[in-house]
Structure 1
Amino acid sequence: MVVMGGAGETELSVRLLTDETWPAFARLVEANNGVWGGCWCMGFHVKLGKGRTAAENRSEKEQRVHEGRTHNALVFAGDDCLGWCQFGSPEEVPEVKSRRLYEKGLVALPDWRITCFFTGKGLRGRGVADAALGGALAEIARLGGGTVEGYPEETDDRKVSGSFLHTGPMAAFEKHGFTRTRPISPHRWVVTRTVEPD
């Protein structure tokens, strides 16, 4: 995939978060204050609360990577990780935002959840979220497909900083064939689509 960036065309590729890609992922997280003050992309795996440190989050994320218990589609330009999209089964990523309203309208759990996105500072607006979501959906298809949920922010009528769109922009989901199922906050929706197995 080729996208336009500040320095012209950039070739983007998507790789999964594995022991091999962990160093590039960790470099990006470390360069961005642990992501949201030390989350290390653990906020949908466990309930983050007082007393939990960034070091604990880093250690647990790395352990999950080693054990194959976390899924992230990482977007690369050459050897540099620019960002990612995290996905997993509801058992793997049980935490959701706006839980009360989410559970109120819940009929059945999905097979997969697209939980969060991150793009490094200075790297936004280059198609990273779109590439990451496409990579996550391709891997979900390879793993057998099924019903996939996302929880993006709808920004049609307001300006929102990209740094706050951690559950993803609505436009990216709609571009990839998701449909709005139900609102779970004033600006956040459950969106769904079915992915056929590869």
Structure 2
Amino acid sequence: MPDFEFHPVTAERWPDLETFFKANGNPNYCWCMRWRLSSSQFSKEDAAGRKRQLANFVNEDVPVGVLAYHEGKVVGWCSIGPRESYLGLERSRILKRIDEEPVWSVVCFFVDRAFRGQGVTAKLLKAAVAYAGAQGAEWVEGYPVEFGKSYQFMGAPSIFAQVGIAEVGEASNGRKIVRMRTNQE
């Protein structure tokens, strides 16, 4: 099994994220801004505008995610940050907060096709939880859905279960709400 390294996205690593998104289709469309913008803002922005918005977050040191590297090349992405940095998530009628605990939210995974099926997503999630904890987050929350439903890029429940993230609720559309303390292993 290949070795991987994981690093948070920073201004210095922005070119790596940009190259990865451009080479892999769907991320180049949304630039992982679906939940960071309101629905109307997301609809108004084109791909270039979404990219610009994500770059602004990165340049302002807003946590946006973690990259997986194999032999110096990005092969995966996990979007994670404080829930309040996700305007669309905060305004969602379906994925409402279940309590007032401050959480970091995991809202997207993308793994290069050549590296799928090798456990990269679970390793990315584990690295994302560790990153959130290092940034002072007490809780990490996710919103997985069984494959075959919309927004599959938010992960499957089995991925979260692999790293010990337990179900704590269910959204009105059947999507699970899972949560874990960052200081657990």
The TM tier, using the shorter chain, reads 0.7 to 0.9
Report 1:7-22 matches (<5 A): 10-22=2-14
- Taking only the aligned residue pairs, the percentage that are identical comes to 26
* Aligned Cα root-mean-square deviation (Å): 2.5
- CA deviation after TM superposition for structure 1 residue 122, in Å: 3.4
Task: Provide the rounded CA distance (Å) in 2 between the counterparts of 1:100 and 1:188.
Answer: 13
1:140 maps to which residue?
Answer: 132
Q: Deviations over 1:102-129 (max 9, x none)?
A: 33x7232432111111112333212221
Q: TM-score, normalised by structure 1?
A: 0.81
2:118 maps to which residue?
Answer: 126
CA distance 1:186–1:50, change in 2 (3 Å): closer
Partner amino acid for 1:87?
I
Structure number with greater Rg is: 1
Task: Provide the rounded CA distance (Å) in 1 between the counterparts of 2:12 and 2:127.
Answer: 17
Partner amino acid for 2:14?
W
CA distance 1:145–1:69, change in 2 (3 Å): closer
Partner amino acid for 2:159?
A
Task: Provide the rounded CA distance (Å) in 2 between the counterparts of 1:33 and 1:46.
Answer: 20
Is 2:170 the counterpart of 1:183?
yes
1:171 maps to which residue?
Answer: 158
Unpaired runs of 5+ residues, structure 2, are none
Is the CA contact 2:83–2:90 (under 8 Å) kept in the aligned structure 1? Answer: no
1:7 maps to which residue?
Answer: none
Q: 1:57 aligns with which of 50, 54, 65?
A: 50
Is the CA contact 1:86–1:114 (under 8 Å) kept in the aligned structure 2? Answer: yes
Report 1:28-43 matches (<5 A): 28-33=20-25, 35=27, 38-43=29-34
2:67 maps to which residue?
Answer: 74
Partner amino acid for 1:20?
E
Is the CA contact 1:149–1:192 (under 8 Å) kept in the aligned structure 2? Answer: yes
- CA deviation after TM superposition for structure 1 residue 164, in Å: 5.4
Is the CA contact 2:57–2:64 (under 8 Å) kept in the aligned structure 1? Answer: no
Task: Provide the rounded CA distance (Å) in 2 between the counterparts of 1:99 and 1:122.
Answer: 34
Is the CA contact 1:144–1:196 (under 8 Å) kept in the aligned structure 2? Answer: no
- CA deviation after TM superposition for structure 1 residue 176, in Å: 1.3
Partner amino acid for 2:166?
T
Is the CA contact 2:84–2:90 (under 8 Å) kept in the aligned structure 1? Answer: no
Q: TM-score, normalised by structure 2?
A: 0.86
Is 2:19 the counterpart of 1:23?
no
| Greater helix share, structure number | 2
